[in-house]
Structure 1
Amino acid sequence: EFEQGPPIEAPVAVRLVGPELETLRTLAARTQQVLETTPGTLYVKNPVQTRRTDLQVEVDREKAGQLGVPAAEVARAVRFGLAGLPAGTFRDEAGEDHPILVRMPLESGAWPALGALERLHVASVTGA
């Protein structure tokens, strides 16, 4: 069995391609609605419905080392604090699964404010 091109996760897949992300989000939402109301359709995924933001954190390795904090632990704490740590799944009455994430409390926006990083605690190798 041979496949050409990128792997596809399902027997039927719909891919939208275009230069404008907002247009793709709108079209993907419409496509998702059509697919979800089509009898026999299972597991509709819409990866563009989740907005992504890249954040680059530079760790002062010398200071982190003096405090006994591995740089990887700082990156892990920031990632889990902002993006969340998967803690399980909730299934609603319609049978849809929703991820449960543990993360820092949201402030006024949809994501924790960058100022929340000041309140982030990172454990050292001794657990302190």
Structure 2
Amino acid sequence: MKMVVAYIRHEAFEPIRTELLDLGFPSLSISEVKGSGRQKGITERYRGAELTNYLRPKVKLECVVSDTDVQTIVDTVLKHARTGAVGDGKVFVMPVEEAYRVRTGEAGEEILQAHPDAATTTA
């Protein structure tokens, strides 16, 4: 099992979420985060003082999938998040030792199976 963690621009999230849902991967965790990298800060004037904010807002997307599905997730993120400009984000893939479903106590990759009819089911 692997965890795919992607830091992306806000506008890239919805197309990624839609395609992953269509591919049968409805299980995502997202967080609003701020960070700095090669993208320059934004300089603003506030009450006569010049302030530079180096922390840029991003969306952190996390998804745990079986080893065979990692490339599908990564390709989908890269396809929709890449603009070619500095600040597009990063994708990390990390190993996951074990996963458990809290409701039933099931463990292992069985709980990560892709949902082929995910787009047609309702929550």
Q: Same fold (TM over 0.5)?
A: no
The structure with the largest alpha-carbon Rg is 1
Q: Structure with the greater relative contact order (CA < 8 A, sep ≥ 6): 1 or 2? A: 2
What's the TM-score, normalizing by structure 2?
A: 0.25
| Structure with greater proportional strand content | 2
| Structure with greater proportional helix content | 1
What's the TM-score, normalizing by structure 1?
A: 0.24
